[in-house]
Amino acid sequence: MADLGNILLFFLFPVSVFTALTALAAGVTKRRGLLEAARRGAYAAFAVTTLAVLALEYLLVTSDFSIEYVASNTNFALPMFYKIVALWAGHNGSLLLWTWIVTIFTAIVAYQHRHKNNDLMPYVLFAMASNMIFFSILSVFISNPFQTLYQEFGNTLQEFTARDGHGLNPLLQHPAMIIHPPVLFIGYVGSVVPFAFAIAALITGKLGAGWIHTTRRWALTTWGFLAVGIVLGGKWAYVELGWGGYWAWDPVENASLLPWLTSTAYLHSVMIQERKGMLKVWNMALVIATYLLAIFGTFLTRSGIVSSVHAFANSGLGPAFAIFLGMGLIFSVTLLLYRRKDLKPDEEMESLVSRESGFLFNNLLFLLATIAVLWGTMFPVISELFTGDQITVGPPWFNNIMIPIGLALLLLTGVGPLLAWRHTSVETLKRSFGWPILGSVILVVVLLALGVRDGWALGSFAISFFVMWTIVVEFVKGANIRRKNSSENFFQAMYMLSRKNTRRYGGYLIHAAMVVMFIGFTGNAFNSETRAEVGEGDSFDLGPYTFNAIKITEDQNENYSSQTLELEMYRNDRLIDVINPEKRFYFASDQPSTEVDIYSTFREDIYAVLSGMSNDGTKVIVQVYRNPFVSMVWIGAFILGIGTLFAMLPNLRESKGGAQ
């Protein structure tokens, strides 16, 4: 099976080259037959890669420990479910997953456009097949998941089968970790599609809004998957890494944020192009940047260039990625410069207080955020280059710069949509913003009275309140207008209103989701924690809570042994919950693992970690965090997902008998 998988995977390389070359030839000669051949090539690439993935799955599920990847990431006792998802637990397998998604997307695009966009498609397929070539080179020649185990035997290398595998890294044995990589990868790889169309538009000179309309759903899907993938990563870090937080500005985290920032900028600025024919070069640049940053993120994770807790060990892929990135960058920038004259704006900007300028400042802030994150992430490399010292900038640096930018963007979320195109009068401003501003001021006064003193937190709550108000007003006002002219009740009216312009109201829903998430982020300003060494019967306090250590139990199954602390949690002498932080020791991987226990409500999380044993073994060290509003981050991400799906629904057209 390993040989079969290897052969299948190897076929991907010539098939990708064939697809790219025929697509290019189709573009140059404009012959339909060649385009059709390239399309078949895309289907074939998808087919062989799918079969290769199935072959690897077969090896994983049947625990074939003659294969290095299988032996490194699974073991006999591992539950079947984890054997299946071990496909993306390690470097080589996850690279195959990535390659697979590229071929899936290429095949989908080829199929979707089998009868249309015949002028663009040759170059679209060429760009996508170039990606397939690159990833097939990596998967086949550098990081092959079908590699067998070797051992030195005298002077010769000999294949052998390990008695048992090393098992799956305990940190990865968590549900969020199972969906986080595929979701994030779909987000990353999805950026290839708008990129390929942008490149095709640049090459063919068909620079109208065609390529933008065609890729709108792709861009939105990519964006949504990236967002949800990033938050799932945070969720995993939160429940699995046991340090009480979900975001640490780690290079790998930043790598996933970068393309999200540029693609968010794009989703906004593209509206200006559609409406006013401005920012054409800029939009091209954002699509290209998003794609390159997605590749850059993969490079960062797998090259070991910046040290990170999450990163794969140095995989030897660094140089290959650097070359591919460099080629992509030079190729796209050259094309962009070549076409810059044809990308002149149709209109000029008119007023500082207008929708367009709102978008413009939105884009400026997203761009600065991208540069800041990139700068901070790469600072160890930059500083070593110039001073010889490798200097890391920590989370406080990122917070110092990203909190103001984030709040400014959040504010624009409320202000922007209410500004009119071209110009907004002072009267309109007063009417739209008077009440929300007053409401926010009152909120700040109330919070101050309640003892909140953190300036950023006050600002964040005030802005969140303001933005939420303006969003709710948009829905209510729209629904009321509809209701006057129809027999619909309020909720029907609100539904119909949204369905008639899904992009706008889906957008509002996403904005509301961001507000909810920002409330969650702001909770960080009020975190508190305590650490205690307890034996059975001991107790300690954190804020209004009292914790009683009831029992320390030890247990064992075939996968791991464990120690669990039973901790009663009281508030005002009332038992709230019993939490059970646990420490496990996995036999196969020979690794300990901390299983935190979290008591979670809308208001706050109580997060308990069993961090160690005392020397004599009768007591345990337990760490308890009190984190307000964390659940808002997860709820916000969920709303964001719903909003993204909603924005992709086609607009409902009403029959003549319906509301006007």
- Closest distance between other proteins and the C-beta of residue 231, in Å? 22
Q: Is 360 in the site for other proteins (CB under 8 A)?
A: yes
Q: Is 612 in the site for other proteins (CB under 8 A)?
A: yes
* For other proteins, the closer CB: 14 or 592: 592
Whose tokens are 């993938």? That residue is 229
Q: Is 580 in the site for other proteins (CB under 8 A)?
A: no
> Which member of 331, 592, 599, 645 binds other proteins (CB under 8 A)?
592
- Closest distance between other proteins and the C-beta of residue 154, in Å? 12
Closest CA to 417 of 368, 467, 342, 479: 467
> Which member of 43, 58, 243, 526 binds other proteins (CB under 8 A)?
243
Q: Which residues contact 83 (CB under 8 A, 6 or more apart)?
A: 60, 61, 63, 74
Q: Is 365 in the site for other proteins (CB under 8 A)?
A: yes
Using CA atoms, how far apart are residues 248 and 180, in angstroms rounded to an integer?
Answer: 17
Sketch the per residue contact string, 300 through 339, with other proteins: x for CB under 8 A, - otherwise.
-------x-x---x--------------------------
- Closest distance between other proteins and the C-beta of residue 242, in Å? 6
For residue 290, the surrounding DSSP H or E stretch is: helix 280-303
Q: Which residues contact 8 (CB under 8 A, 6 or more apart)?
A: 48, 49, 51, 52, 55
* For other proteins, the closer CB: 158 or 651: 158
Applying CB under 8 A, the span of 120-128, 158-166, 480-488, 627-635 interacting with other proteins comes to 158-166
* Tokens coding 516: 């909810």
* Tokens coding 164: 């048992």
Q: Is 357 in the site for other proteins (CB under 8 A)?
A: yes
Q: Strand pairing partners for 575?
A: 570
> Which member of 41, 145, 190, 380 binds other proteins (CB under 8 A)?
380
DSSP string for 535-600: -TT-EEEETTEEEEEEEEEEEE-SSEEEEEEEEEEEETTEEEEEE--EEEEETTTTEEEEE-EEEE
By CB under 8 A, the count of residues binding other proteins is: 65
Cβ–Cβ < 8 Å for 418, 432: yes
Q: Is 538 in the site for other proteins (CB under 8 A)?
A: no
Q: Is 346 in the site for other proteins (CB under 8 A)?
A: no
* For other proteins, the closer CB: 174 or 499: 174
> Which member of 539, 580, 591, 600 binds other proteins (CB under 8 A)?
591
Q: Positive or negative, the Cα torsion across 293, 298, 300, 305?
A: negative
> Which member of 15, 71, 133, 237 binds other proteins (CB under 8 A)?
71
* For other proteins, the closer CB: 380 or 636: 380
> Which member of 298, 377, 623, 644 binds other proteins (CB under 8 A)?
623
> Which member of 351, 501, 539, 546 binds other proteins (CB under 8 A)?
351
Q: Is 543 in the site for other proteins (CB under 8 A)?
A: no
* Tokens coding 39: 């399309």
Q: Is 392 in the site for other proteins (CB under 8 A)?
A: yes
Three-state secondary structure readout of 298-341: HHHHHHCCCCCCCCCCCCCCHHHHHHHHHHHHHHHHHHHHHCHH
Q: Is 621 in the site for other proteins (CB under 8 A)?
A: yes
- Closest distance between other proteins and the C-beta of residue 152, in Å? 11
Applying CB under 8 A, the span of 52-60, 261-269, 361-369, 557-565 interacting with other proteins comes to 361-369
* For other proteins, the closer CB: 127 or 365: 365
Cβ–Cβ < 8 Å for 269, 357: no
Q: Is 378 exposed, middle or buried (0-12, 13-18, 19+ CB in 10 A)?
A: middle
Q: Is 372 in the site for other proteins (CB under 8 A)?
A: yes
> Which member of 531, 551, 571, 603 binds other proteins (CB under 8 A)?
531
Say whether 610 sits in a helix, a strand or coil. strand
Q: Is 385 in the site for other proteins (CB under 8 A)?
A: no
Q: Which residues contact 640 (CB under 8 A, 6 or more apart)?
A: 224, 227, 228, 231, 510, 513, 514, 517
* Tokens coding 493: 């009216």
Interactions with other proteins, residue window 457-496 (CB under 8 A)? none
> Which member of 118, 151, 334, 485 binds other proteins (CB under 8 A)?
151
Q: Positive or negative, the Cα torsion across 429, 432, 435, 437?
A: negative
Cβ–Cβ < 8 Å for 539, 546: yes
> Which member of 557, 614, 618, 651 binds other proteins (CB under 8 A)?
614
* Tokens coding 367: 């761009």
Instruction: Cite the DSSP H helix spans in 191-250.
Output: 192-204, 210-240
* For other proteins, the closer CB: 44 or 588: 588
> Which member of 36, 119, 533, 566 binds other proteins (CB under 8 A)?
533
- How does 503-521 read in b/e, with b if 16+ C-beta sit within 10 Å? ebbbbbbbbbbbbbbbbbb
- Closest distance between other proteins and the C-beta of residue 165, in Å? 9
- Closest distance between other proteins and the C-beta of residue 620, in Å? 11
For residue 265, CA distances in Å to 71, 336, 362 come to: 43, 19, 7
Q: Is 77 in the site for other proteins (CB under 8 A)?
A: no
| Binding interface with other proteins (CB under 8 A) | 71-73, 90, 149, 151, 153, 158, 160-164, 166, 169-170, 242-244, 307, 309, 313, 348-352, 357, 360-361, 364-365, 368, 372, 375, 380, 389-394, 396-397, 400-401, 404-405, 408, 529, 531, 533, 589-594, 609, 611-612, 614-615, 621, 623
